[in-house]
Amino acid sequence: MPRRARSARLTHLDARSRPTMVNVGAKLVTHRIAEAEARVRVPPAVARALRRSGHRTRKGPVFDTAIVAGVMAAKRTSELIPFCHPLALEQCRIDIGFAPGASAAVIVVRCRVEVRHKTGVEMEALTGATVAALTIYDMCKALSHDIRIASVRLLSKSGGKRAVGARARASRAA
């Protein structure tokens, strides 16, 4: 049986449809986890050059620099996105590598963020993955401008009112 769609309500609008920050004062503190992914498509020649050089360009270590940039961005998400609450992240892990298989010219960036708080961390995970992907573009653009950040998406989130992704499917199956 298909699930009934929730009534659509934008949480960042007040009764007069003006932008507002969500009041999280009455929410419970829970362990919140979110994971996001960005995919960066590079030309095969750029992928070969990165592999041969140990993921370095003249600008320096590409993946390591992207990891640092992504973590820094995740920690500062509330300064970039107006209605995000400032959070003291407990964990931010960014993993970067080439996708396996025939699409070996795709770099996969994953950002996993954790916090114990009253509000979720999906925006922090998305920001971390996105800025890491942008850093890869910046550090490789001298090799080619034919680089595309092909997708950015939320993979999962848990600990709040609604779970999304693998964690949600696991809890529904139990």
Q: How far apart are CA 72 and CA 66, in angstroms?
A: 10
Q: How far apart are CA 53 and CA 139, in angstroms?
A: 13
**Dihedral pair phi/psi, residue 153, rounded to 5°:** -150, 155
For the beta carbon of residue 119, count every other beta carbon within 10 angstroms. Answer: 19
Which residue do the tokens 């910046």 mark? 138
Q: Which of 14, 64, 95, 138 is catalytic?
A: 138
DSSP 100: S
What is the Rg, in whole angstroms, of the alpha carbon atoms belonging to the chain?
Answer: 18
Burial of 139 (0-12, 13-18, 19+ CB in 10 A): buried
Q: Are 154 and 165 in contact (CB under 8 A)?
A: yes
Q: Could you confirm whether 64 is annotated as catalytic?
A: no
Active site residues: 138
